[in-house]
Structure 1
Amino acid sequence: MTLIKSISGIRGTIGGTPGDNLTPIDAVRYASAYGSWIKKQRNKENYRVVVGRDARISGEMVQQLVMNTLVGLGIHVVDLGLSTTPTVEMAVTMEHADGGIILTASHNPKQWNALKLLNAKGEFLDAVAGQEILDIAEGGAIDFSEVDALGKITKNDAYIDLHIDEILELPLVNVSAIKKANFKIVVDGVNSTGGIAVPLLLEALDVHPVKLFCTPNGEFPHNPEPLKEHLGDLMKKVVDEKADFGIVVDPDVDRLAIVDEKGQMFGEEYTLVAVADYILGHQSGNTVSNLSSSRALRDVTEKHGGQYTASAVGEVNVVTKMKETNAVIGGEGNGGIIYPELHYGRDSLVGIALLLSHLAEQKVSVSELRKRYTAYFMSKKKIQLTPELDVDALLKSISETYASEEINTVDGVKIDFPDNWVHLRKSNTEPIVRIYTEAKSQEKADALADRFIREIESYMS
């Protein structure tokens, strides 16, 4: 059982011992710290925080703990109930709220949950704010309100619809072309809130959704990380239904992966690439993705005359770099699309609408679209951490070994070889070291990853 405390929030497994797992005591402690931090940002009479959750089994329990802790601090809560991460992000600004909390452990299995924390812009906290909250949680002053100053909870279940309305109003979402295309799409909602939001978006665009695992009961039918090895049912369903393609999102709907009409993976890395190609085809500009993302985004950006920049891993780092470079599109290679015309957050719903616009305007199949982009192949592997492993020393040793290559140590160690690359970093969300590689064939990418796994294991032994 595990509890991970980081600047982006608190994430852990349900049950067990306080301080070692995400127990009710830990949920209250960190909600108290966050609420106290919110009140320190501005001296005002009324504070408001938006709270929403994915459909995982522990969600309702954790949400009640969090909301009532905020009430105890004199903070009013807007309860979105079952929602998505990007919907909560947008609701923060629409409500003119002081912050937001999404109760979701993203792609982690059902025993996990987390408090993902937002600022008043509906964006993830930066390192300074995150550290302040951790410090409060570890012993800072928390002053709860007296009985006449308690907060109130207001339910509002309209925000998924409002989120979709905002997407449909975007100039580059070609609603008429999508409606004329008469798409039929299989949707794997992994029995979470994507099963609510994605079909609603598709129906608003006159797209026929074939629902697969769209009951939001938190009983994930497969590992919720949208990777090829977990998506056999979706791949088969697309072919059986003779659908135009398939969509899968993670439990909180900020990652998007596509299966083509032949039942083959489009490649989660290429979700962002295809959307960027569409955006840059209509407006000039720059792009950003993180260090673990495909070179294909750089290629398509340069094709359109833009400049590509890589950031450290983590949505807040991508957003910061996007603002610095005035990027018109960005995100992460795990299927996370950030379109600042809507908001600065990974958003599968806007990603779907933009991808549909691209396909409808180009009048091509998903498999044909994929052939337009440079064929890169990635391997994504991981090694479980052991308590005695000094990860920083490990990464330093590897960077010294490959000092003659192009090295980037902004986030872990990335080694750019002439024809491929490897990125090694400690995960922010799991007790693992991630090993990402990319090459011109799957065999070469896998071999490069296996080679570095052996080097890490040799260091550990």
Structure 2
Amino acid sequence: MDTPISFGTDGWRATLDEFTSPRVQIVGQAVADYLREVEDRAGDTVAVSYDARETSRGFAEDLCRVLAANGFDVLIPERDTPTPILAWTITDRDLAGGLMITASHNPPEYNGVKFIPSDGAPALPEVTDEIMSRLAEPDPLSEDEHGVVREQDFVAPYEEHVFDLVKSDLSDLTVVYDAMHGSGRGVTDKLLEDAGASVERLHCEQDAEFGGTSPEPDPDHLQELISAVEDGAADLGIANDGDADRLAIVTPERGYLDENLFFAALYDYLLEDDSGPAIRTVSTTFLIDRIAEAHGEEVHETPVGFKWVAQAIEKHDALVGGEESGGFTIRGHVREKDGVLMALFAAAIAKERPFDERVDDLLAEFGEIHQNKISLDCPDAEKQRVLSDLETELPDEVAGKDVEDVVTKDGFKILLEDGSWLLVRPSGTEPKMRVYAEGDSETRVSELLTAGEKLVEPLI
């Protein structure tokens, strides 16, 4: 069937001229057929949730109708709900799976849908391939075989669970929380308050246009939060993206905190009372490796994409898993990145001692790390050719340092003799090649990115 539906790194996302009700129903039918034919879950219960976009509830209801018409009972929340809460609900209630209507951090003119299997972890390619192979127009059963759709509260049971994981009393802690008008509003801020924190709220009103920008928690979009923390008396600033599966942290001294440094602080904090390896993507800092080594632990590296992190967490019984784009989870929780849970952990870390103090101590012990990345325009159809050409052009030296090794888990990660590295990989969501670099100073990172651009750009 000729259709623009295509499941990429994290489901199917498209602008609303392509992301339409008939096509969403086609996805719903494919999921129903997959659950019936591959998972043998015919007649079981499925959850459907949605983010804060204007069109999301309607698309979610489209999915509910298709699934119910295929004999599945369906649970749907009364209001938009963070993606990680849907994932946890699936595992908590032993559901057959779930569907989330969200375009995450994309602008308002986008929407999307992702399938979450019964284990609550991101769907692996073999699952999404099976769903893609079943794309078809809705094919309802006879009416007497239809399931029922029920509204239920997903948040209250989740709240009880996360307070079992984060037992810190947040009294006397002041947090500024920026929901970016997304699904974290009324959820993350409420949990922080319920744990005892004083919470100052930014952009916690529902706005389907996200204030005229994208709900992407990067420094450019968080200037108001940064100013509120740097100019006020808050101990910490926290922001979630549109569907609250990622977070950003703002500290009084550093302002926007590099997500790699948050990962390091989180792992360091967890290792105070627990043990276990860490999982990180190829684009995430080696600082995690240094912390692990100091505690006699291991680090396992994966390609970019939380589905690979989730798979490795299970394989290695990891204490924590994360990626430099702000997605993290821990052992004992669902294997999906969770910006709500991480907000509570960030506050607990800050309550124990100031975030900046902990990060300062880590960098003093393990060495300075700096990281940045650039993107180079590259049509999707050209990405594999560029990688093939790059393989024959890999240098023996980059920015004045010899190449010690090349890791090929995801693109080419060039490891240099001074401990710095350069990574070139294709974006899984945009027509771009990504170039990442890590070194012991901003100057070194700039040199590496310049060298990477000169290496890759002629090949595009």
What TM-score does the superposition give when structure 2 sets the normalisation length?
A: 0.91
String of CA shifts for 1:406-426, please: whole Å, max 9, x gaps.
112221222222332222222
In the alignment, is residue 324 of structure 1 matched against residue 315 of structure 2? yes
Change in 2 beyond 3 A, CA 1:44/1:413? closer
Matched, 1:412 2:404: no
Instruction: Tell me how far apart the structure 1 counterparts of residues 7 and 192 of structure 2 sit (CA, whole Å).
Output: 37
Which amino acid is the alignment partner of residue 164 of structure 1? E
The Cα shift of 1:241 comes to 3.0
- Other-structure match for 1:52: 49
The answer on whether the counterparts of 1:7 and 1:134 sit within 8 Å (CA) in structure 2 is: no
Q: Report if aligned partners of 1:55, 1:193 keep a CA contact under 8 Å in 2.
A: yes
Matching of residues 129-140 of structure 1 within 5 Å: 129-137=127-135
Where do 1:17-416 residues align within 5 Å?
21-43=18-40, 46-80=43-77, 81-137=79-135, 143-156=139-152, 158-170=153-165, 173-176=166-169, 178-179=170-171, 182-221=172-211, 222-262=213-253, 264-361=255-352, 364-374=353-363, 375-386=368-379, 390-402=382-394, 404=396, 405=403, 406-416=405-415
Structure 1: gaps (5+ residues): 16-20
- Cα separation, 2, equivalents of 1:49 and 1:285: 33
> Counterpart amino acid of 1:168?
F
CA deviations over 1:259-299 (Å, ceiling 9, x no partner): 10246122122222211111112112111111111111111
Q: How far does residue 331 in structure 1 lie from its aligned partner after superposition?
A: 1.5
Task: State how far apart, in whole Å, the 1-side matches of 2:114 and 2:340 are.
Answer: 19
Greater mean deviation of Cα atoms: 332-341 or 392-401:
392-401
Deviations 1:71-93 (A, max 9, x none): 22222210023101110011112
Cα–Cα, structure 1 residues 384 and 22, in superposed 2: closer, same or farther, change >3 Å?
farther
SS of structure 2 residue aligned to 1:196:
coil
Paired AA for residue 55 in structure 1: A
Amino acid in structure 1 at the alignment position of 2:86: V
Where does 1:435-446 land on structure 2 (aligned, <5 Å)? Answer: 435-446=435-446
Q: How many residues align?
A: 443
Distance 1:115 1:453, change over 3 A: same
Helix, strand or coil for the counterpart of 1:265? strand
CA distance in 2, matches of 1:317, 1:263: 31
- 1:4 to partner: Cα distance: 4.5
- The structural deviation recorded for 1:305 is 1.5
Residues 452 and 340 (structure 1), Cα distance of their counterparts in 2 relative to 1, 3 Å cut: same
Amino acid corresponding to residue 269 of structure 2 in structure 1: Y
Deviation (angstroms), 1:31: 1.8
Q: Percent identity?
A: 24
Structure-2 residue corresponding to 1:5: 7
TM-fit CA distance, 1:310: 0.6
Alignment check: 8 A CA contact 2:6 2:12 kept = yes
Deviation at 1:3, TM superposition (A): 6.1
Give, in whole Å, the separation in 1 of the partners of 2:258 and 2:326: 9
Counterpart in the other structure of 2:399: none
Q: Is the 8 A contact 2:179 2:202 kept in 1?
A: yes
Return the alpha-carbon distance in structure 2 between the equivalents of residues 443 and 56 of structure 1: 40
Q: CA deviation at 1:253?
A: 1.0
Q: 1:136 to 1:359 in 2, by over 3 A?
A: same
Stretch deviating more after TM superposition (231-240 or 197-206) = 231-240
Residue 8 of structure 1 deviates from its aligned partner by 4.2
CA separation of 1:295 and 1:112: change in aligned 2, threshold 3 A:
same
Equivalent position amino acid for 2:161 in 1: E
Query: Is the deviation greater in 401-410 or in 185-194?
Result: 401-410
Rounded to whole Å, the distance in 2 between the matches of 1:205 and 1:334 is 26
Q: Tell me the CA shift for residue 7 of structure 1.
A: 6.7
Match of 1:14 in 2: 16
Q: Distance in 2 between matches of 1:44 and 1:299?
A: 44
Change (3 A) 1:61 1:431: farther
Q: Check whether the contact 2:44–2:73 (CA below 8 A) recurs between aligned residues.
A: yes
Note the aligned Cα RMSD (angstroms): 2.1
Name the SS for the 1:202 alignment partner. Answer: helix
| Contact residue 4 and residue 429 of structure 1 kept, 8 A | no
Secondary structure, in 3 states, of the residue corresponding to 1:281? coil
Contact 2:97 2:118 in 1 (8 A): yes
Distance in 1 of aligned mates of 2:376 and 2:85: 33
Deviates more, 1:183-192 or 1:229-238: 229-238
Name the SS for the 1:185 alignment partner: strand
The secondary structure found in structure 2 opposite 1:210 is: strand
**1:178-237 deviation per Cα after TM superposition (whole angstroms, max 9, x unaligned):** 33xx11111110101112211111111110111001113232234322222222111111
For the structure 1 residues 455 and 195, does the alpha-carbon distance in structure 2 shift closer, same or farther, using more than 3 Å as the test? same
